[in-house]
Chain A
Amino acid sequence: MIQRPLLLITAMAVILGILTAGCGESRDPYVGTYRSLQPYAGKGHIELTLKENGEATWKLEGEKPVKFKWKVAEGHLWLYTREGGIIHVTPSEGNKKLSVDMTGEWNPSCPAHMCLYFERVEVR
């Protein structure tokens, strides 16, 4: 006979373990500031800053910065908007370049008409 309190403690430990295990891969290789290769919306370049704590900012010249959360999964970056939208980002060339898929859906390769390219300008 297994004691119920023991089983409940085990169950709680399993829940906590599961929740802490779901934090994703290390962000360290991708932390830094990236700049769009092309000007956006006729205004200027976008600066994308990925911080270690999982926060990110998207700053278009002349506009207010937009905040995100981000994570790494299977070598891809996932940016989460406040409303729950997901932007999929694919790093390349040793994480020096990023392809940002603006469709909001996952695609095997970034669609040319909805893809923004970034280059790393600062490593943290």
Chain B
Amino acid sequence: MTGLEEKTQGLKIEEVGRELRVPSGTRVVKQGDPPHHFYVIVSGKLKVYRETHDGIRTDLTELGPGDYFGEVALVTGMARTASVEAVEDSVLIQVSKEEFDAVLDQNPQLARKLIHTLATWLVDGDRRLEQETVHQVKLRQISWFDYLLMVGLSVILALVFNLYNDNSIPLVHGWGEKDGVQEISPDQALELYRQQKAVFVDARKNNFYDQRHIKGAENLPLLFFDLQFPMFQFILQQKQVGPDTPIIVYGGSSSRRFDRELARRLMEKDFSRVLVLAGNPDGWEKIFPVETRPGKAVAAMPLGLPGYIEWIPVSIFLLFLLPPVRRSPYLSAFCRVVLGVIFVQFALSKIMRPAVFALNVVDYGLMPEWGVNLWSLILPWAELVSGLFLVLGIRTRAAATIIGAMNLIFIVGLVNAIFLELPINCGCVGEAGEPVTWWKVLKNAGMLLMAVQIFLYDRLFVLDRGGFIWRERKI
């Protein structure tokens, strides 16, 4: 006796049903529809699945010849609990609700079998529910280990890479160096300035000098000392500055003492009376007459592809206005790829030449001197690691947290620079030609939103505790 004959023995199928031929891809039963029929499969293959309102589909099982479906809704009288779709051309016996009830009344053996099947499903369902709940709980868990993993990996990669990088920088700038530079108090310096008995030298970058400097001061940026020193020497000769004339250097900041370093370099060039202006690094602005030239912003260089990708985090604001979309796990997956790619781009623009990025950090003036190089070495690797983790779907909630934290820091830095009108390069995705603007703030705010969305709703294409989760999974 075949399975089909056994299962349909009491049904008297030839008396109550009618044959139904369904081509592959036909949806025989739709989840949520009212129940009208019961089906027995004569030949072919069908799959049973459930779908949530936001489109997440879960395959429940596949049915073949001898199997039947549609009985749950008929017995309970409730709407269809799942959809059934033909995977290949199939032949079914379609039994109406009235016929089904009549057959059950006449066939207690079949009724018992149905009860047994439904009870087994309930027990299996409970087990599956428990497994899924445990899996989801594990998926939502984030531990200190996740953060330790990412930060530790970034630190190790940064330090090892710095060892072998041609453009390596010391971990702490100027650590342990004795400059032997003498200081001069602002009052004494002002006295010499009034008597025109000293040369004042601004050690900062040209654009900072252009914006505001002590009236009459020369600019010798430390960064281009070797190139511009001959011109500086030439200018001193033209001004007939004597060898004993004091040279007073200013222009340091809490992030880098350009003034002290420049003074040391000048002393190495046999200038005998080099002094550094003491006190608050910005104090000269209040004491000395200054020349200002406002309004010169950093020129913008075309960024190419990264420039176009910048639009995505900004346009993401529009998507978040739509409630069904902003909670979608598909949006999370999209955000992960976009954010991951952007952060990998950020990282690549900085990793090879940490000294350049360190100067960008110095320009913001928010990092203490001891932390500038460490930050400049580790941050790009943290961007790369967390960006790759997002794209690959590893520890995505922790990666999103780290990226969100970085966005917050960037936003603070950018807003501070805008309010102080600092003539600096953003240092975001380019080494130069990237002015600090509200556009950059908006972009970072968009990325922060994306990170929050990932943190809250990401659950697809994720490699996490319990395996890799794809869109359609069998439970």
A interface residues, Cβ below 8 angstroms from B: 1-2, 4, 7, 10-11, 14-15, 18-19, 22, 40-43, 58, 60, 63, 66, 69, 74, 78, 80-88, 102-108, 114
Which residue of A40, A84, A104 contacts B353 across the interface (Cβ within 8 Å)? A84
- Report yes or no: B207 in contact with A103, Cβ–Cβ below 8 A: yes
Q: Within residues 231 to 253 of chain B, which ones have a CB less than 8 A from any CB in chain A? A: 231, 233-234, 237
Q: In the complex, A84 Cα to B205 Cα: how many Å?
A: 12
- Indicate if the CB atoms of A83 and B468 lie closer than 8 Å: no
Interface pair B355/A83, CB less than 8 Å apart: yes
Once the chains bind, are B223 and A85 in contact (CB under 8 Å)?
yes
In Å, the complex CA distance between A74 and B344 comes to 20
Q: Binding site of B, secondary structure by majority: helix, strand, loop or mixed?
A: helix
Closest 7 CB pairs of A and B: A85-B223, A84-B355, A106-B433, A41-B230, A41-B234, A66-B226, A106-B432
Closest to B381 in A: A15
Collect the chain A residues with CB atoms within 8 Å of residue B433's CB: 105-106
Could you tell me if B230 and A60 are in contact, using CB atoms closer than 8 angstroms? yes
Indicate whether A105 sits within 8 Å of B299 (C-beta atoms), given known contacts A10-B392, A22-B348, A85-B359: yes
Q: How far is the CA of A48 from the CA of B78 in the complex (A)?
A: 85
When distances are taken between beta carbons in the complex, the residues of chain B under 8 Å from A105 are: 205-207, 298-299, 425, 432-433
Question: Given A81-B226, A86-B431, does the pair A42, B234 have CB atoms closer than 8 Å?
Answer: yes
Q: Is the CB of A11 within 8 A of B223?
A: no
CB of B304 to closest CB in A, whole Å: 8
Asked if B22 is at the interface of the complex by the 8 Å CB criterion, the answer is: no
**Which residue of B has the minimal Cβ distance to A85?**
B223
Residues in A with CB closer than 8 Å to B227 are 58, 66, 81, 87, 102
Within 8 A of A (CB), among B355-410: 355-359, 384, 388, 392, 394
Which B residues have a C-beta under 8 Å from some C-beta of A?
166-167, 169, 205-207, 221-228, 230-231, 233-234, 237, 298-299, 301-302, 304, 344, 348, 351-353, 355-359, 384, 388, 392, 394, 425, 431-433, 463, 467-468
Smallest Cβ distance from A29 to chain B, in angstroms? 20
Complex contact A18–B348 (CB within 8 A): yes
A104 pairs with B205, CB closer than 8 A = yes
Instruction: Check B388 against A14 for contact (C-beta < 8 Å).
Output: yes
Are A81 and B301 neighbours in the complex by a CB distance under 8 Å? no
**With A and B bound together, what is the CA distance between A41 and B231 in angstroms?**
5
How long is the Cα–Cα vector from A104 to B467 in the complex, in angstroms?
51
- In the assembled complex, which residues on chain A have CB atoms less than 8 Å from the CB atom of B223? 81, 83-85, 104
Judge whether A40 and B230 touch: CB under 8 Å. yes
Q: From the candidates B225, B432, B463, name the one contacting A88 in the complex (CB within 8 A).
A: B432
Tell me the complex Cα distance, A7–B226, Å: 48
Cβ-defined contact, A42 with B237, below 8 A: yes
Q: Is the CB of A83 within 8 A of B222?
A: yes
**A69–B467 touching, CB < 8 Å:** no
Per the bound structure, the CA–CA distance linking A2 and B353 in Å amounts to 35
How far does the Cβ of B94 sit from chain A's closest Cβ, in whole Å? 39
Known: A83-B355, A87-B224. 17 other contacts (CB 8 A): A2-B463, A22-B352, A58-B226, A60-B230, A66-B227, A74-B302, A81-B223, A83-B222, A85-B205, A86-B432, A104-B224, A105-B425, A105-B433, A106-B298, A106-B299, A106-B432, A108-B299
